[in-house]
């Protein structure tokens, strides 16, 4: 059985997807209404009492809460309820330093994977998420589980790296989102209908995943991740089109092994 702790947009959909695949899933959340709704939708048991679980039957634990302190509280609660070995996947997006601290605090008999995800609720529900993974070398059962819930896994060497990669990616996405929004506002300020520019962007060089999904994207989660990254690094690069833009483009091309002058 797979235990999913946190039945929000990511955890709830991971659990529902596993249940749809015919696997046994137990959903856990403090929110009793969320527990009821998820249990009905996934046709799987759920509750708010870890003491009620048959711990020897738990094959994996998936932690999908929102904040670092909540992940730490989950780790403490798990230790209070069972001393047996556990395989734990932490899907919460953490600051890199928090990821290193929390993952390293787990008992020696746990197999702990830092596993933040990209792809949103839809990717979680469809099993097509991207997972950024750090932890022990995976065994076949864990590989099968990861294949069930994701479309691609990027393995990394140490705790904290998955968090940093996801935060950098989401900061880039936020730059794209903010730039699109500002260009639309700028068009309107100068008498060009924003909807007209938006149609042009959708079929031209300004197009991006973020521009395509500007209306529906959960920007609050992106801004949360930007805040985590800024807190970790102290500051982020300016997105202004200043005199350093060309040098940044050439440097990035060189880092990717391309001819920077092409």
Q: Give tens-digit pLDDT for 127-158.
A: 999 999 999 999 999 999 999 999 999 999 99
How far apart (Å, rounded) are the C-alpha atoms in residues 73 and 227?
22
Taking all residues of the chain, what is their mean pLDDT, rounded to a whole number? 94
E strand residue ranges, 39-115: 46-47, 60-63, 86-90, 110-114
Tokens representing 240 are 């202004």
Overall pTM surpassing 0.85 (yes/no): yes
Output phi, psi for 11, to 5 deg: -60, -45
The answer on pLDDT for 262 being more than 70 is no
Phi and psi (nearest 5°) for 219? -70, -25
Would you list the DSSP string of 230-260? HHHHS-----S--TTHHHHHHHHHHHTTS-T
**pLDDT, mean of residues 2-20:** 98
pLDDT at 86 over 60: yes
Which helix (H) or strand (E) segment holds residue 118: the answer is: strand 117-118
- Smallest CA-to-CA distance from 44 within 66, 70, 75, 13 is with 13
- In whole angstroms, what is the distance from residue 132 CA to residue 156 CA? 7
Please report, rounded to a whole number, the percentage of residues in the chain having pLDDT higher than 90.
85
Residues 67/98, Cβ–Cβ less than 8 Å:
no
pLDDT digits (tens, 9 = 90+) for 185-227: 999 999 999 999 999 999 999 999 999 988 888 888 899 999 9
Mean pLDDT confidence for 111-139:
96
């Amino acid at each position: 059985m797979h235990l999913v702790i946190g039945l929000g947009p990511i955890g709830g959909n991971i659990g529902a997807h596993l249940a749809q695949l015919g696997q046994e899933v137990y959903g856990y959340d403090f929110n009793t209404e969320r527990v009821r709704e998820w249990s009905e939708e996934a046709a799987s048991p759920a509750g708010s009492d870890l003491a009620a679980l048959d711990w020897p039957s738990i094959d994996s634990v998936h932690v999908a809460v929102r904040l670092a302190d909540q992940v730490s509280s989950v780790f403490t609660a798990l230790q209070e309820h069972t001393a047996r070995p556990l395989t734990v996947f932490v899907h919460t997006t953490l600051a890199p330093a928090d990821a290193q601290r929390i993952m390293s605090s787990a008992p020696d008999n746990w197999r702990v994977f830092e596993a933040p995800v990209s792809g949103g609720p839809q990717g979680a529900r469809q099993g097509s998420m991207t997972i950024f993974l750090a932890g022990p070398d995976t065994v076949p059962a864990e590989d099968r589980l990861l294949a069930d819930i994701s479309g691609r896994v990027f393995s990394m060497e140490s705790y904290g790296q998955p968090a940093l990669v996801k935060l950098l990616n989401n900061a880039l996405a936020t730059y794209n989102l903010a730039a699109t929004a500002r260009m639309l506002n700028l068009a309107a300020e100068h008498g060009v209908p924003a909807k007209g520019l938006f149609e042009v962007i959708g079929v031209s060089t300004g197009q991006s995943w973020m521009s395509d999904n500007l209306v529906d994207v959960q920007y609050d989660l992106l801004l949360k991740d930007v805040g985590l990254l800024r807190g970790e690094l102290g500051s982020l690069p300016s997105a202004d089109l200043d005199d350093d833009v060309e040098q940044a483009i050439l440097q990035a091309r060189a880092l990717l092994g391309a001819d920077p002058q092409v």
